């Protein structure tokens, strides 16, 4: 099974892209949701997203180990040609080591900043540009600003064909 990591940082339309993949039947693991469930289970509280992020970053080693253990267990159970692993912290948690490919969503800084303002996040613009460059450097595949203004479903279908072709090639050469 091919594992494709989906990332893009803050306010990059990950859920929009995920919905398009989901629409054509691609399975996925949303790490925000998985982490939320795990933390809720271990801490016996209902937490909102900002508290969740705070807990993960402040108590990173313990919580990241628990989350990654659950992730690996979940990945072993899934039967699919390929799967998307959607995670805002692919690199900080070393989840990228489980991946075969990394798909990065790259919106222009202006669009991202406007989306961040709408969400009430407070982020430094220069940090945003540095973070964007670091993500792009690690990407195998990039969805850039162009798709934001065009038909996302058509682009996702093309990516799906591409990922299926990689899976087929690996299967022929017994790499999987």
Domains and CATH numbers, the chain: 2-172 (3.40.50.300)
Instruction: Map tokens 């900080």 to a residue.
Output: 92
Angstrom distance (rounded) from CA 18 to CA 105? 11
DSSP string, the chain: -EEEEEE--TTS-HHHHHHHHHHTT-EEEEHHHHHHHHHHHHHTS---HHHHHHHHHHTHHHHHHHHHHHHHHHHHH--SSEEEEE-TTTTTTTGGGG-SEEEEEE--HHHHHHHHHHHT----HHHHHHHHHHHHHH-SEEEEHHHHTS-HHHHHHHHHHHHHHHHHHHHHTT--
What pLDDT does residue 62 have? 75
Kindly report the pTM of this predicted structure.
0.75
What pLDDT does residue 17 have? 84
pLDDT in tens, the chain (176 residues): 899 999 875 555 677 788 889 999 999 999 888 887 887 777 666 566 677 667 666 776 777 788 888 899 999 998 888 999 998 778 777 888 999 999 988 766 555 555 555 555 555 555 555 455 566 678 888 887 565 556 778 888 999 999 999 988 877 776 55
For the four alpha carbons of 133, 101, 99 and 116, in that order, the dihedral sign comes to: positive
What pLDDT does residue 25 have? 92
């Amino acid at each position: 099974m091919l594992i494709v990591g989906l990332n893009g940082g803050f306010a990059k339309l990950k859920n929009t892209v995920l919905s398009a993949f989901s629409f054509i039947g691609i399975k996925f693991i949303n790490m925000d949701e998985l982490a939320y469930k795990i933390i809720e289970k271990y801490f016996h509280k209902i937490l909102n997203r900002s508290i969740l992020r705070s807990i993960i970053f402040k108590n990173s080693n313990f919580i990241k180990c628990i989350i990654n253990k659950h992730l690996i267990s979940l990945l072993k159970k899934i039967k699919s040609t390929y799967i998307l692993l959607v995670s805002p912290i692919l690199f900080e948690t070393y989840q990228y080591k489980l991946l075969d490919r990394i798909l990065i969503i790259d919106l222009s800084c202006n669009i991202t900043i406007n989306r961040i303002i709408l969400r009430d996040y407070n982020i430094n613009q220069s940090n945003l540009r540095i973070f964007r460059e670091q993500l792009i450097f690690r990407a195998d595949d990039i969805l850039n600003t162009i798709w934001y203004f065009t038909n996302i479903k058509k682009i996702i279908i093309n990516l799906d064909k591409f990922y299926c072709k990689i899976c087929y090639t690996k299967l022929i050469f017994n790499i999987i």
